[in-house]
Amino acid sequence: MEQVHFVPEATVRDKVISAFELHGRWLKELIPDCDVEHVGSTAVAGTLTKGDLDILVLVTMEAFPCAEARLAERLERNAPSWRSDVFSSFKDDAADPSLGVQLAVRGRASEHFIRFRDMLAAEPRLLAEYNSLKVQFDGGDMDSYRERKGEFIERALATRLLDQS
């Protein structure tokens, strides 16, 4: 059983910002005309985080196949994540901090990474609930945490969509 542990985002902030700048540069060189977004818990001040860096790379539908092939040459595929013709996930566990790269077609549902990041940054109550969930799983099973985290994010995004209608 893989265990999950969390630290305050502020304790890894400088390292993560430097890593984002470094990875962002080579990603933009590798995939011209992409947008590179820092997402995940380290992108939001005040979160509890595993301390990893998550990057979302957005491309056009036409550029997706080439971008995916180029990333597959540089990074390991993130096998547990789903993959489609508009989304693919990669990782580099040896990077410091460990790196996750999500490749997605602009304008598709995969942009929920950005929406959730922005919601956490703007809504202190939601951030507190998210951190509370993480405290419950600190030292616990990673797979169980990922399942509950996914449910939490889906509920938060659905609630936001209902509030906007």
- Indicate the pTM of the whole model: 0.92
pLDDT (tens, 9 = 90+) of the chain, 165 residues, equals 899 999 999 999 999 999 999 999 999 999 999 999 999 999 999 999 999 999 999 999 999 999 999 999 999 999 767 788 899 999 999 999 999 999 999 987 678 899 999 999 999 999 999 999 999 999 999 999 999 999 999 999 998 755 554
CATH of the domain at 48: 3.30.460.10
3-class DSSP string for 97-122: CCEEEEEEECCCHHHHHHHHHHHHHH
**Tell me, what amino acid is at 24?**
G
Which structural domain, as residue segments, surrounds residue 131?
7-164
For 22, other C-beta atoms within 10 Å of its C-beta total: 13
CB 112 within 8 A of CB 157: yes
Q: Does 95 reside within a domain? A: yes
Amino acid at 70: R
C-alpha 64/C-alpha 118 separation (Å) is: 25
Number of structural domains, the chain?
1
Residue 1 falls inside a structural domain: no
